[in-house]
């Protein structure tokens, strides 16, 4: 930008735009940068000492917004105008969130379509992308104020289980906030980068990242080699977090004091005091306070008993993640602790005991993701040439081919950016268009996978079937966004689309897709063989029928009759879905038709030669 400014956070002179790292959290968000002088990542701190900005947006009657703590204060008085946990809605359709609609005090809209959810506030409709963009705008504004510099480029983190639609929505929110989002990276990847794990060449490590936030829990098993972060498994519960600890304690006191559940104000007061007590107990043995006029107290032991079932659930998820990754505990080299709720001593203790390892927990757990995003931003800015960073595709990408088969162009866990291409052709004579359907998933039949997009290549000049050469190219950019293009090579007719899925999968669906591909692997191989055999048989029947229609007079009565019988027999085999029988009868039909086909073609060729004029 050519502007010179003093960076208040680091005291150094700032001559260019800084690329920031942003943790856009469900509960809290924050910005971090890498200090120019020391190369250390730091979280940006307000004058009041706080680094975290609650991910809450309040809308007043005139549509003016406030974000962060000021918005949080309105939660109680104006719940229908105060939007929290919007991250849960990113890239989702109403059907994905309807089971949890009760978790939102504001109005989440079902417009009866499969498109993205909206939120209604005072008669106006907002998309989760817009709502998130208010949070990002606020973070950008604060960062610019603190850094006295332009902030226009950012790296934003998302959970490892976010799918394309959710990542794209996050990227769009950034764009809407006036940020050029250079990269979307996984939260566990960021956390491990903050600790410098996996940043060196030739490093080979397997780590667990345990992230317990305000309302969500996830654990990821990462395998890191040569700067490639591969997510081996992720598990967790998107409705389990520190908030549940607060409610457990609030309920305990409520019962103790004999408070009726109907009183909203006192219930909210209970919850606020419970969170305060929980945080206090992370450092002290006993909390004493008041709810209204009444005294309340809680010891660490009592608190631990209340939250033990919650913590146990996170440990079960760790077991599941290890199982899904096909690993035992002793294969884990390091355990990284992420999220404000990992400050709870029982959590620390339980995780350490389960993995039997020292934990990486020296950095602030609620800042560690943003710090890692800043490290990534610094790498992208070219300041850190030591590190290299690559990501991989979470699910395979491919297109539908004959018989509804999935033809994979880019397999799961491929490094990105990535490019792959393959040639296809037409099935019918004179076919002028070709529909290319793009799918994501691990199953052999596209109907079991997820459709991402459809591209129509039109204007192919008339040619006999099999002659056009259509090259389909997949390009996955560094953010995991897919671009598909199709070109008919003989004529140069081309089409391109950027794949922006209309709505997302639920976390459970992504998990199910991966599990399905494992459980159905055997069955899929069988199905694929049958589909391939059937496709070939069907083509054989079509060609034969066409041939007979054109050259009936060149065939003997007997030839025609046998052919018809064999076609019928093949059709029966197809109907019976018997692969071996289909293959056998296809071969038989071929044997029957070959002699006269050759004879007729030879004759036709001679005729053609005769008629040809030599100029
Ligand atoms: P998210 O990733 O969901 O945005 P955070 O990582 O910021 O969330 O975690 C927020 C949660 O951490 C809240 O439930 C908060 O009460 C909890 N938390 C913050 N500090 C402490 C502490 N000292 N002890 C226990 N819990 C804490
Ligand atoms: Mg978080």
Active site residue 23: yes
Is the minimum distance from the CB of 243 to ligand 1 under 6 angstroms?
A: yes
513 inside domain:
no
C-beta neighbour count of 219 within 10 angstroms: 27
| Residue 142 sits in the same domain as residue 260 | no
- Based on the fold, state whether residues 84 and 144 are members of the same structural domain: yes
Interval between CA 159 and ligand 2 midpoint (Å) = 8
The answer on pLDDT for 399 being more than 90 is: yes
Q: For residue range 43-87, list pLDDT tens digits in order.
A: 999 888 899 999 999 999 998 999 999 999 998 889 999 999 999
Question: CB of 339 closer than 6 A to ligand 1?
Answer: yes
Report residue 13's pLDDT band, with 50, 70 and 90 as the boundaries: very low
Same domain, 30 and 112: yes
* Active-site choice (87, 92, 118, 140): 87
Burial pattern 104-140, b for ≥16 Cβ within 10 A else e, equals bebebeeeeeeebbbbebeeeebbbbbbbbbbbbbbb
> Quick one: tokens of 516?
């399905």
34 within a domain of the structure (yes/no)? yes
Is residue 187 annotated as part of the catalytic site, yes or no? yes
Instruction: Out of 478, 506, 534, pick the residue that ends a domain.
Output: 506
User: Does residue 151 share a domain with residue 108?
Assistant: yes
Domain CATH for 435: 2.60.34.10
Q: Band of the pLDDT at 336, cuts 50, 70, 90?
A: very high
How is residue 42 written in tokens? 């730091």
pTM over 0.85: no
Has 87 been annotated as catalytic? Answer: yes
Reported in sequence order, the residue ranges of 402-469 that DSSP labels E, i.e. its strands, are: 405-410, 415-416, 418-424, 434-440, 450-457
H/E element, 571: helix 557-575
Lowest mean pLDDT among 78-82, 316-320, 530-534: 530-534
- For residue 608, what pLDDT band results from cuts at 50, 70 and 90? low
With respect to residue 592, please indicate whether it lies within any of the assigned structural domains. yes
Q: What range defines the domain where residue 413 resides?
A: 397-506
Please report which helix (H) or strand (E) contains residue 565, including its range. Answer: helix 557-575
Supply the pLDDT for residue 263. 80
388 falls within a domain = no
Tell me, yes or no, whether 153 lies in a domain. yes
The predicted-structure confidence for 454-509, as pLDDT tens digits, reads as follows 888 888 888 888 888 999 999 887 666 788 899 998 888 888 877 643 334 444 55
Of 38-42, 164-168, 360-364, 514-518, the range with the lowest mean pLDDT is 514-518
Q: Is residue 381 situated within a structural domain?
A: no
CA-to-CA dists, residue 450 to 23, 396, 497, 539, angstroms = 29, 10, 17, 27
> Could you tell me if 104 and 71 lie in one domain?
yes
Q: With 60 as the cut, is the pLDDT of residue 615 above it?
A: no
pLDDT level of residue 292 (50, 70, 90 thresholds): confident
Is there a domain that residue 389 lies in? no
Residue 260 inside a domain? The answer is yes
* Number of domains the chain contains: 5
Residues 24 and 167 in one domain: yes
385 is catalytic: no
Which range is least confidently modeled, 227-231, 357-361, 424-428, 515-519?
515-519
Atom 13 in ligand 1: residue holding the nearest Cα: 214
Residue 335 is part of a domain; what is its CATH number?
A: 3.30.420.40
Instruction: Say if residue 296 is in the same domain as residue 356.
Output: no
Helix (H, G, I), strand (E, B) or coil at 515: helix
Half-sphere exposure of 25 (CA within 13 A, CB side): 31
Name the domain boundary from 259, 282, 306: 306
- Based on the domain organization, do 82 and 94 belong to the same domain? yes
Q: What is the pLDDT of residue 384?
A: 67
Q: Are residues 405 and 539 in the same domain?
A: no
How big is the CA angle at 157 (ends 357 and 195), to the nearest 5 degrees? 35
pLDDT reading at 417 higher than 80: no
Kindly report the CATH number assigned to the domain that includes residue 278. 3.90.640.10
Give me ligand 1 centre to Cα 61, in Å: 31
Q: Which ligand is the nearest neighbour of the Cα of 88? A: 1
Q: Are 131 and 12 found together in one domain?
A: yes
pLDDT in tens, 169-192: 999 999 999 999 988 999 999 999
pLDDT per residue over 547-579, tens digit each?
888 888 888 999 999 999 999 999 999 998 888
Residues 98, 131 within the same domain: yes
Best CA proximity match to 361, nearest among 373, 347, 377: 347
Atom index in ligand 1 nearest the CA of residue 282 equals 24
Q: Residue 450 has what pLDDT?
A: 83
| Contact 366 CB / ligand 1 (< 6 Å) | yes
28 CA to middle of ligand 1, Å? Answer: 8
By percentage, how much of the chain surpasses pLDDT 70?
88
For the cut 80, the answer to whether the pLDDT of residue 95 exceeds it is yes
- Please give the Cα distance from 66 to 59 (Å, whole number): 7
Rounded to whole angstroms, the Cα distance separating 211 from 391 reads 20
């Amino acid at each position: 930008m050519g502007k010179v400014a003093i960076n208040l956070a680091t005291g150094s002179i700032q001559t260019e735009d800084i690329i920031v790292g942003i943790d856009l959290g469900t509960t809290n968000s924050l910005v971090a940068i890498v200090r120019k002088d020391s190369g250390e990542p730091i979280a940006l701190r307000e004058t009041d000492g706080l680094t975290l900005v609650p991910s809450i947006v309040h809308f007043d009657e005139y549509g003016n917004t406030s974000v962060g703590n000021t918005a949080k204060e309105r939660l109680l008085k104006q719940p229908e105008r105060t939007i929290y946990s919007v991250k849960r809605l990113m890239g989702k359709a109403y059907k994905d969130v309807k089971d949890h609609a009760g978790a939102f005090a504001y109005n989440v809209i079902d417009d009866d379509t499969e498109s993205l959810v909206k939120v209604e506030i005072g008669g106006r409709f907002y998309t989760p992308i817009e709502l998130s963009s208010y949070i990002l705008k606020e973070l950008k504004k604060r960062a610019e104020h603190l850094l006295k510099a332009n902030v226009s480029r950012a790296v934003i983190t998302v959970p490892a289980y976010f799918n394309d639609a959710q990542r794209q929505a996050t990227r769009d929110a950034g764009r809407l906030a006036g940020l050029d989002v250079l990269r979307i990276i996984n939260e566990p990847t960021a956390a491990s980068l903050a600790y410098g794990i996996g940043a060196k060449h030739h490093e080979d490590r397997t780590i667990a990242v345990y992230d317990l936030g305000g309302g969500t829990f996830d654990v990821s098993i990462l395998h890191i080699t040569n700067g490639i972060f591969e997510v081996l498994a992720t598990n967790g519960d998107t409705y389990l977090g520190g908030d549940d600890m607060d409610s457990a304690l609030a309920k305990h006191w409520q019962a103790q004091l004999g408070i009726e559940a109907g009183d909203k104000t006192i219930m909210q007061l209970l919850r606020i005091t419970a969170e305060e007590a929980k945080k206090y107990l992370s450092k002290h043995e006993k909390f004493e306070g008041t709810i209204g006029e009444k005294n309340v107290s809680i010891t660490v032991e009592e608190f631990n008993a209340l939250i033990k079932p919650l913590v146990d659930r996170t440990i079960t998820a760790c077991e599941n993640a290890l199982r899904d990754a096909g690993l035992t505990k002793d294969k884990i080299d390091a355990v990284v602790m992420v999220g404000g709720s990992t400050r709870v001593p029982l959590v620390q203790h339980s995780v350490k005991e389960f993995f039997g390892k020292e934990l990486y927990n020296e950095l602030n757990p609620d800042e560690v993701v943003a710090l890692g995003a800043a490290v990534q931003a610094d790498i992208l800015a070219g300041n850190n040439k030591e590190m290299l960073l690559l990501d991989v595709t979470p699910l395979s990408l491919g297109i539908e081919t004959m018989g509804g088969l999935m033809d994979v162009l880019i397999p799961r866990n491929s490094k990105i950016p990535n490019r792959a291409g393959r040639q296809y052709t037409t099935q019918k004579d004179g076919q002028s268009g070709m529909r290319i359907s793009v799918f994501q998933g691990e199953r052999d039949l596209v109907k079991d996978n997820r459709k991402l997009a459809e591209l129509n290549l039109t204007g192919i000049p008339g040619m006999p079937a099999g002659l056009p050469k259509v090259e389909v190219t997949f390009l996955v950019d560094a953010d995991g966004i897919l671009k598909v293009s199709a070109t008919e090579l003989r004529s140069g007719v081309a089409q391109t689309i950027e794949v922006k899925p209309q709505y997302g999968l639920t976390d459970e669906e992504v998990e199910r897709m991966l599990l399905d591909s494992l459980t159905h692997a055997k069955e899929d191989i069988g199905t694929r063989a049958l589909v391939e055999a059937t496709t070939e048989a069907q083509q054989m029947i079509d060609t034969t029928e066409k041939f007979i229609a054109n050259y009936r007079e060149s065939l003997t009565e007997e030839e025609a009759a046998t052919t018809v019988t064999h076609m019928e027999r093949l059709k029966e085999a197809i109907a019976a879905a018997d692969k071996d029988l289909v293959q056998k009868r296809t071969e038989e039909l071929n044997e029957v038709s070959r002699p006269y086909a050759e004879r007729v073609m030879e004759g036709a060729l001679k005729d053609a030669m005769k008629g040809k004029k030599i100029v």
